Amino acid sequence: MNKDAKTAIILLLKGIFYKGDNERAFFELTTNSYGSISDYFATIGLEVMVDEADGYAYLKNKDDEDEAEPLPKVIQKRELSYKVSLLLMLLRKKIAEFDMQSENEKAVVAKEDIVAEILLFLDLKFNEVKIKKEIDSTIKKVEDLGFLKRVKNYEDLYEIKSAIKSFVDIEFLENLDKKLQEYKEVRLWS
């Protein structure tokens, strides 16, 4: 296995691997070494998912429910907080709008737009400074998940990463819609 293939493996282990992070390793992953990299991860129950059109790849647990003795899951599912789920939903809608309206390669959103949209869903009885700190924390968590990236030289602009399309799908949006209804009924906003 060559250096670019090994680099692709390491970048996949770190999370969502975007083509822009290392074009040579991404090219190696999608062409010459896909089979060997896929086999490498299959031994520990992982599947390599690649979206060449949008330029990203990631790992997910193999669906091995049919096997007599399935392997333990390497990637654990985490329940997301209400605010993180809400922000992911809003970003997914933004990128869908962007895809339909723009010819640019990157979907960019201003932090003030993110804050304004989140505030529409929150109960404003709380301290405004506290809410803004919580929103900043939420944005940071979504950055850590790999769905937002700060635009260089612009402190308050973020690129919405295309991988959000794979993770925030119809099922996610339907589940979130049900939870939003529950929150409205119980008035549990924190």
pLDDT tens digit sequence for 145-174: 989 999 988 889 999 998 998 888 777 777
Give CA–CA dist 37/89, Å, rounded: 32
Q: How confident is the model at residue 52 (pLDDT cuts 50, 70, 90)?
A: very high
| pTM recorded for the entire structure | 0.75
Where does residue 81 rank: exposed (0-12), middle (13-18), buried (19+ CB within 10 A)? middle
pLDDT tens digit sequence for 25-44: 999 999 999 999 999 999 99
CATH number of this structure's domain 82-186: 1.10.10.10
Ranges of CATH 1.10.10.10 domains, the chain: 82-186
Question: Which secondary-structure segment (H or E) carries 160?
Answer: strand 157-160
Provide the H-helix boundaries in the chain. Answer: 3-14, 23-30, 34-42, 82-101, 111-119, 128-145, 164-167, 170-186
pLDDT exceeds cutoff 70 at 185: no
